[in-house]
């Protein structure tokens, strides 16, 4: 340090700080890699879900055992909502929607989970989208403040529920997944929403999807020691087939 004068060191400091300073009043171009809301809202620590194939009895009562692929690889995001969609198509899958969304210029499939109807994916099959393992924000419920994308888990059921009804296996899987997400991320029943309830001018998830009953069934499943298999459809699942009045 003896050969550098104080004046020279001062110049170095000024140059370094100048490189780190923001570029005036320039506004960055909107893109999927930097959602504006993330910088505005504090990130709250969220417990990381875990997979335990043989949990103790007290743990089973506190939290249902999930499927292994539901456990994200990244640190849990502070999720606040579960937003339910229909695809408005007769068939579909994560792969199909990923391709469709990329053709629209999106980065990847906008949903976190897709539940098949037997055409493109198994009836009631819960497919994990590419965003979920990374705990990446969604691209499924655009609003002015973008909060439902930032902190909303997007679940899409394949089908057009203005024209038809979801299958019983789809509905049982939806309730099972929703119950797990509620308990894992502390999401209240009131924050389980249909896409149209986010303020978007849309009929999604369709008139034949009764969100109120989805909440009731998820709450019922969340209270069990273990979530029931989707192979066994309880009588209460039939309630979900009734249109909203």
Q: How many CA atoms lie within 13 A of 116 on its CB side?
A: 16
Residue 146 pLDDT grade (very low, low, confident, very high; cuts 50, 70, 90): very high
Looking at domain 80-224+231-245, what is its CATH homologous superfamily? Peptidoglycan recognition protein-like (3.40.80.10)
Residue 48 pLDDT grade (very low, low, confident, very high; cuts 50, 70, 90): low
Residue 66 has pLDDT above 90, yes or no: no
| SS3 (DSSP) at 38 | helix
Instruction: Check residue 41 and report its DSSP letter.
Output: S
Mean pLDDT of 80-109: 96
Mean pLDDT of 101-106: 94
Residue 65 pLDDT grade (very low, low, confident, very high; cuts 50, 70, 90): low
Distance, in Å, from the CA atom of 85 to the CA atom of 195, rounded to the nearest integer, reads 6
CA-to-CA dists, residue 44 to 64, 95, 192, 193, 240, angstroms: 23, 32, 20, 22, 34
Which pair of tokens denotes residue 125? 């099959």
pLDDT in tens, 167-181: 999 999 999 999 999
Distance, in Å, from the CA atom of 155 to the CA atom of 190, rounded to the nearest integer, reads 16
Residue 4 pLDDT grade (very low, low, confident, very high; cuts 50, 70, 90): low
Mean pLDDT of 47-76: 59
Residue 123 pLDDT grade (very low, low, confident, very high; cuts 50, 70, 90): very high
Distance, in Å, from the CA atom of 223 to the CA atom of 29, rounded to the nearest integer, reads 46
DSSP H helices, 107-167, are 131-134, 147-150
Identity of the highest mean pLDDT range in 24-28, 30-34, 135-139: 135-139
On average, the pLDDT of the chain sits at 76
């Amino acid at each position: 340090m003896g050969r550098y004068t104080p004046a020279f060191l001062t110049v170095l400091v000024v140059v370094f700080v100048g490189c780190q300073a923001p570029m005036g009043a320039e506004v960055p171009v909107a893109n999927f890699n930097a959602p504006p809301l993330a910088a505005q809202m504090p990130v709250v620590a969220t417990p990381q879900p875990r997979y335990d194939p043989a949990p103790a009895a007290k743990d089973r009562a506190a939290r249902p055992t999930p499927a292994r692929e539901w456990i994200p690889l990244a640190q849990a995001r502070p999720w606040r909502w579960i937003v339910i969609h229909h695809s408005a198509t007769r068939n579909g899958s994560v792969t199909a929607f990923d391709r469709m969304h990329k053709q629209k210029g999106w980065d990847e499939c906008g949903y976190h989970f897709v539940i098949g109807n037997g055409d493109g994916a198994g009836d009631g099959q819960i497919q994990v989208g590419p965003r979920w393992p990374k705990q990446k924000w969604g691209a499924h419920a655009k609003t002015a403040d973008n909060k439902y994308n930032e902190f909303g888990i997007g679940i899409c059921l394949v089908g057009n529920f203005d024209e038809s009804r979801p299958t019983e296996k789809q509905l049982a899987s939806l309730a099972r997944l929703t119950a797990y997400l509620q308990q894992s991320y502390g999401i209240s029943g009131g924050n389980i929403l249909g896409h149209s309830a986010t303020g978007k001018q849309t009929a999604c998830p369709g008139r034949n999807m009764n969100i109120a009953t989805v909440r009731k069934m998820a709450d019922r499943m969340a209270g069990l020691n273990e979530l029931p298999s989707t192979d066994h459809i309880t009588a209460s699942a039939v309630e979900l087939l009734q249109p909203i009045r």
